[in-house]
């Protein structure tokens, strides 16, 4: 509670300061989204304006500040968190999806209100929707030149300035020149002369470079223009670019200071170039500048997203190696847990630290791929739980413990969830765990024709929970990068269709779950790679299936064996035998003994 009061006091002063600043700027209001100039998932500290202003630390949301009112919008994951972190006397709470900000603007803006927004922090599509809402209310929607939050945030951190390094060909698997050539061939077919790229992972993939500007993902923050001749104009802080990197990039990449982007867009406009940019992920600023320069703008998705998602053979070999190393770390952690927890004293934070220690030593290890979710008992039911000293719980007997973690290795990115029983689980826990496991196995063993989307497979993971009137409120799987984002598109496995077919080489997570609020959470997550299935006798279609990448035991103590079919039991036993074969020789004697026991066939 002390913490809440403190942040509340801050929040009062900060809100007042922002309102004063808005007045100076002749604005009646301002929109503060959770966003940076690159639509990153993890923001650099400098871009944490929403958290600084309101206290809300979730990874999606938006605040609207008016002279007499302020509203904060978050999605279903953060309904509780926003109430704990944001002062209800200052802000009204709203649901980002059910009660969209556009509707709120229509109702709450008065005629002639000047509502400001930072065109660097919104995609052009979002700006257009909000502008429509302002039009309905006869309010003005005004792009600012400088963000007023920055003006009042006196100790705002500087832009990150970490060095950018080459991503070696032995990890990337394909030279940047080849990637650029392939991309521009397709663009030329569509008569496109240039593409503006603003997503850092797209640029990192295209140029085979990595950085360290945000937590958990090796991203260099920058902008780029890919030209039809396969050259790239790269807008990046020169301090981040070493001579080695320049040599790695070669002649086809011209470096410019970031603030040269505007002039470059003007030049494209003057030449009446056909320029492509993504209306969802590229800042409205880019579109506005291109439009002002009279460029022929083509709205289309980032063309890097799909080829980046389809891993080449070297990336796939790398990810297999990374998963073996990660499996060793997780197995050592699970063995430690089994040995230590019965003596008491292990808490969620202690487990996070121990797991980080186990991973830290691995070859090619660079950092964790996201903040570890370490939830004992009821905390396991909070899907995006992050333990704090205030919420830290011991791993207590009779409860389940859920740990969702991953790491960035030079040769691959991992993401794995295991749920285990501390002491003896209840029959209900085992029933639920087994239904989740059956769903996991249904995805792991699915075969499907080329052209199938993740949405078409999603129900396979849920069907056994549905039979008991249960479900989970998150997707079944997300795309994963290769030493890049632990979440990436365009593919996923979820209820809502993305229209993106699963393609050989894509990596997705397979993570059904079940959450009993106030009691326990269950999730079983492996990463899988889409592969071509060519061993079916008399097959009439081109079929695909999944190769499971993650290697770590699944807690047999939580399985109600009678609920498994023969085929499901065979899959689990086969998987465990593989874990023993691949991980067993790589761990110490004690861990190996524990693993041998943990991977015994089901009786």
Q: Which of 389/469 has CB closer to its own copies?
A: 469
Q: Which of 188/565 has CB closer to its own copies?
A: 565
Task: Pick one of 9, 186, 299, 541: the residue that binds its own copies (CB under 8 A).
Answer: 541
The interface with its own copies within residues 315-334 (CB under 8 A) comprises none
β-bridge pairing 232-235 and 253-256? parallel
Binding mask 471-510 for its own copies (x = CB under 8 A): x-----------------------x-x-------------
Task: Pick one of 8, 59, 459, 600: the residue that binds its own copies (CB under 8 A).
Answer: 459
Give which of 228, 238, 271, 234 is closest to 254, Cα–Cα: 234
Shortest Cβ 494–its own copies spacing (Å): 10
What's 291's DSSP letter?
A: H
E runs forming strands in 263-346: 274-277, 296-299
- Choose the binding region for its own copies from 170-178, 197-205, 293-301, 461-469 (rule: CB under 8 A): 461-469
Distances (CA, A) of 53 to 72, 349, 463: 11, 28, 43
Shortest Cβ 466–its own copies spacing (Å): 5
Cα separation, 180 vs 178, whole angstroms: 5
Shortest Cβ 378–its own copies spacing (Å): 16
Shortest Cβ 583–its own copies spacing (Å): 29
Give which of 587, 593, 460 is closest to 528, Cα–Cα: 460
- Choose the binding region for its own copies from 465-473, 502-510, 550-558, 579-587 (rule: CB under 8 A): 465-473
Give which of 228, 278, 287, 231 is closest to 254, Cα–Cα: 231
Length, in residues, of the chain? 603
Count of residues near its own copies by CB under 8 A = 28
The interface with its own copies within residues 429-458 (CB under 8 A) comprises 446-449, 452, 455-458
Task: Decide: 478 and 502 in contact? Cβ < 8 Å.
Answer: no
Q: Which of 467/581 has CB closer to its own copies?
A: 467
The interface with its own copies within residues 555-574 (CB under 8 A) comprises 565
Q: Which residues pair with 400 in a beta bridge?
A: 421
- Choose the binding region for its own copies from 178-186, 223-231, 467-475, 546-554 (rule: CB under 8 A): 467-475
Task: Pick one of 397, 463, 561, 590: the residue that binds its own copies (CB under 8 A).
Answer: 463
Q: For the chain, give the longest Cα–Cα distance.
A: 74
Shortest Cβ 109–its own copies spacing (Å): 20
Shortest Cβ 471–its own copies spacing (Å): 5
Q: Which of 16/539 has CB closer to its own copies?
A: 539
Cα separation, 580 vs 577, whole angstroms: 5
Structure tokens at 545: 């299936």
Cα separation, 523 vs 437, whole angstroms: 9
Q: Would you list the DSSP string of 161-199?
A: -PPPEE--HHHH-S-HHHHHHHHHHHHHHTT--EEEE--
What's 110's DSSP letter?
A: P
- Choose the binding region for its own copies from 32-40, 52-60, 341-349, 540-548 (rule: CB under 8 A): 540-548
- Choose the binding region for its own copies from 37-45, 168-176, 416-424, 532-540 (rule: CB under 8 A): 532-540
Shortest Cβ 352–its own copies spacing (Å): 29
Interaction between residue 467 and its own copies (CB under 8 A): yes
Shortest Cβ 447–its own copies spacing (Å): 5
Interaction between residue 538 and its own copies (CB under 8 A): yes
Interaction between residue 244 and its own copies (CB under 8 A): no
On the 0-12 / 13-18 / 19+ scale of CB atoms within 10 A, 217 is buried
DSSP H or E stretch at residue 102: helix 101-108
Task: Decide: 401 and 420 in contact? Cβ < 8 Å.
Answer: yes
- Choose the binding region for its own copies from 24-32, 84-92, 476-484, 536-544 (rule: CB under 8 A): 536-544
122 phi/psi in degrees, rounded to 5: -135, 140
Structure tokens at 382: 């909070």
Give which of 307, 237, 306 is closest to 44, Cα–Cα: 237
Shortest Cβ 541–its own copies spacing (Å): 5
Interaction between residue 466 and its own copies (CB under 8 A): yes
Structure tokens at 159: 């832009």
Shortest Cβ 534–its own copies spacing (Å): 9
3-state secondary structure of 440: helix
Shortest Cβ 428–its own copies spacing (Å): 8
Binding mask 85-124 for its own copies (x = CB under 8 A): ----------------------------------------
Cα separation, 333 vs 331, whole angstroms: 5
Structure tokens at 256: 């410019």
Shortest Cβ 443–its own copies spacing (Å): 11
Cβ neighbours of residue 281 closer than 8 Å, sequence gap 6 or more: 39, 123, 198, 199, 302
Task: Pick one of 27, 286, 460, 527: the residue that binds its own copies (CB under 8 A).
Answer: 460
Task: Pick one of 161, 190, 397, 468: the residue that binds its own copies (CB under 8 A).
Answer: 468
Cα separation, 263 vs 223, whole angstroms: 13
Q: Residue numbers of the site for its own copies (CB under 8 A)?
A: 446-449, 452, 455-460, 463, 466-471, 495, 497, 533, 536, 538-541, 543, 565
């Amino acid at each position: 509670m002390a913490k809440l009061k403190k942040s509340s006091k801050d929040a009062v002063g900060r809100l007042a300061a922002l309102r004063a600043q808005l007045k100076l700027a002749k604005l009646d209001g301002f929109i503060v989204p959770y966003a940076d100039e690159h639509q990153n998932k993890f923001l650099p500290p400098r871009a944490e304006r929403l958290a600084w202003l309101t206290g809300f630390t979730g990874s999606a949301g938006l605040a609207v500040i008016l002279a007499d009112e302020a509203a904060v919008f978050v999605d279903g994951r953060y309904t509780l968190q926003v109430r704990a972190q944001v002062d209800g006397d200052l802000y009204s709470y709203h649901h980002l999806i059910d009660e969209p900000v556009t509707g709120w603007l229509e109702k709450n803006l008065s005629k002639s209100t000047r509502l400001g927004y930072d065109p660097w922090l919104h995609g052009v599509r979002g700006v257009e929707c909000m502008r429509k809402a302002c039009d309905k209310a006869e309010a003005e929607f005004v792009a600012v030149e400088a963000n007023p939050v920055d003006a009042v945030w006196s100790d705002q951190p500087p832009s990150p300035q970490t060095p950018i390094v080459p991503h070696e060909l032995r990890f990337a698997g394909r030279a940047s020149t080849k990637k650029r050539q392939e991309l521009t061939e397709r663009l030329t077919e569509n008569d496109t002369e240039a593409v503006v790229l603003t997503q850092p992972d797209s640029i990192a993939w295209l140029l085979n470079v990595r950085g360290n500007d945000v937590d958990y993902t090796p991203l260099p923050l920058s902008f780029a223009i890919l030209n039809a001749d396969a050259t790239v104009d790269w807008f990046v802080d020169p301090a981040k670019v070493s001579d080695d990197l320049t040599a790695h990039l070669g002649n086809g990449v011209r470096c410019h200071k970031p603030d040269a982007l505007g002039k470059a867009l003007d030049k494209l406009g003057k030449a009446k170039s056909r320029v492509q940019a993504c209306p969802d992920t590229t800042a409205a600023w880019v579109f506005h500048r291109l439009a002002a320069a009279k460029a022929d703008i083509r709205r289309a998705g980032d063309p890097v997203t799909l080829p980046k998602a389809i891993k080449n053979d070297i990336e796939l070999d790398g990810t297999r190696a990374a998963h073996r190393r990660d499996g060793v770390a997780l197995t050592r952690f699970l063995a430690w847990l089994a040995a230590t927890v019965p003596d008491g004293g292990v808490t969620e934070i202690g487990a996070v630290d121990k797991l980080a220690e186990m991973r830290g030593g691995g070859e090619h290890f660079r950092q964790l791929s996201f903040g570890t979710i370490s939830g004992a008992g009821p905390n396991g039911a909070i899907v995006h739980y992050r333990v704090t000293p205030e919420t830290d719980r011991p791993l207590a007997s009779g409860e389940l413990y859920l740990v969702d973690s991953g790491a960035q290795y030079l040769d691959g990115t991992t993401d794995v969830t295991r749920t285990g029983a501390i002491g003896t689980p209840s029959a209900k826990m085992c029933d639920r765990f087994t239904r989740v496991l059956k769903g996991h196995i249904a995805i792991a063993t699915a075969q499907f024709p080329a052209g199938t989307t993740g949405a078409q497979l999603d129900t396979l993971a849920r069907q056994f929970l549905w039979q008991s009137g249960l479900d989970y409120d998150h997707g079944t799987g997300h795309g994963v990068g290769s030493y890049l984002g632990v979440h990436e598109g365009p593919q996923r496995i979820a209820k809502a269709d993305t229209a993106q077919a699963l393609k050989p080489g894509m990596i997705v997570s397979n993570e059904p779950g079940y959450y009993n609020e106030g009691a326990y959470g269950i999730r079983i997550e492996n990463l899988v790679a889409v592969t071509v299935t060519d061993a079916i006798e008399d097959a009439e279609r081109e079929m695909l299936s999944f190769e499971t990448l993650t290697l770590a035991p699944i807690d047999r103590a939580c399985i109600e064996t009678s609920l498994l079919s023969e085929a499901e039991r065979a899959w689990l036993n086969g998987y465990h035998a593989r874990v023993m074969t691949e991980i067993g020789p790589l761990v110490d004697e004690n861990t190996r003994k524990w693993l041998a026991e943990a991977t015994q066939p089901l009786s």
